[in-house]
Amino acid sequence: MTAPDLSMAQISRRMLSAKAEQFTESVIREMTRLAMKHGAVNLSQGFPDFAAPEEIKEAARKAIADDINQYAITWGAKPREITICCGSTEAMMSAMMAIINPGDEIVVFEPFYENYGPDAILSGATPRFVKLRTPDWSFDEEELSAAFGPHTKAIILNTPNNPTGKVFTRAELEFIRDLCVRWNAYCITDEIYEHILYDGAKHISMACIDGMRDRTIVINGLSKTYSVTGWRVGWVLAPPEPTQPIRKVHDFLTVGAAAPLQQAGASALHFPQSYYDKLAGSYTAKRERLLKILERSGFTVFKPRGAYYIMTDISRFADPDAVRFRADTKDVRFARYLVETIGVAVVPGSSFYNNAQDGASQVRFTFCKKEETLLAAEERLSKLRA
């Protein structure tokens, strides 16, 4: 068989998506694969390694036994302003694709959960980054105000925040509200860690701030609250207007999330308050445990007020051998050294920043792990020298 003649147009046609070329694979998921490859203790990706609550598992078994096994109604349950998606990852992507047009900008606090980068590229939004600054991850009001403008379509908020553990205060939310109103922008708020709070921190949803009910798109899911990250059930709560396109985008992306797991999730939403108190209490103890381990090992820690990550500064550690742990920035070399030589997987700080240099002296640990796992990490990290 001879090769067909190709026209110049065919030859010059780009065979792969230019959008997909603009972002890398997820560093967080990659670190989990490296942890498995090197037999390391995995404190990188934020998924619990302990059992999910018996009640939610029983509800899922019952839903399957009761034959809730066909497509769910595409957006989920009947109420009008909720769309159930395949995890909050799809919820965020559907929301962005439903509101973004060419030329639109989004404001993103940095460091940010790495998905927001590809979300922006795939939906076609131009991100404008605003720094959260150590040690308390506060933002500069002038810097935030300057990031808004006539092209701003939305601000992406994540509170409690991954990776910093910041919980936005009412005053901060009101300041953001005033900018959203002034520039006629949405707030897309990722509240997946809403029940994981410490030291009396209170979660306030932007949707509850005066004047924001009609411009807030809330993203949430079962994963973190009920320790079922592999079920992939998340949702979007949005006003009727954006809900229309969000439902259409979601329908053609995935049709729907697993029907019996939606059913089980609906029953979990009725768990008593004691469930949530216990969850926060158990994570408080794990946070204390990991903070101590990290401080003893020589890390500078930024104590989180919510979510289940600890951002650390690694300036006190020597830069690992650049030849052996080839990478552009110190955080990546250090993370490779940790996973390969010490036996603990973490996420390099640069994966939470637009400019890798900004995260070059940080790495993120997670503590949503059982005591055995934290103990093993403690033993391994004791070999580390600051």
Which residues of the chain form contacts with ligand GLN (CB under 6 A)?
28-29, 45-46, 89, 113, 162
Q: How far is the CB of 28 from ligand GLN (least distance, A)?
A: 5
Count the Cβ atoms, other than its own, within 10 Å of residue 61.
11
Cis peptide upstream of residue 160 (ω within 30 degrees of 0): yes
DSSP state for residue 197 in the 8-state scheme: B
- Residue nearer to ligand GLN on the CB measure, 46 or 260: 46
Q: How far is the CB of 87 from ligand GLN (least distance, A)?
A: 7
- Residue nearer to ligand GLN on the CB measure, 148 or 193: 193
Alpha-carbon dihedral of residues 189, 192, 194, 196, nearest 10 degrees? -140
Beta bridge partners of 363: 312, 348
- Residue nearer to ligand GLN on the CB measure, 113 or 148: 113
- Residue nearer to ligand GLN on the CB measure, 113 or 353: 113
Cα–Cα–Cα angle for 48, 90, 181, rounded to 5 degrees = 110
- Residue nearer to ligand GLN on the CB measure, 113 or 129: 113
The whole-angstrom separation of Cα 75 and Cα 2 is 50
Q: How far is the CB of 196 from ligand GLN (least distance, A)?
A: 12
- Residue nearer to ligand GLN on the CB measure, 89 or 189: 89
Q: How far is the CB of 145 from ligand GLN (least distance, A)?
A: 29
Q: How far is the CB of 32 from ligand GLN (least distance, A)?
A: 8
The crossing angle, in degrees rounded to 10, of helices 371-381 and 273-297 is: 10
Q: How far is the CB of 17 from ligand GLN (least distance, A)?
A: 21
Sheet of 126-131, strand order: 82-85, 234-237, 216-221, 186-190, 152-158, 105-110, 126-131
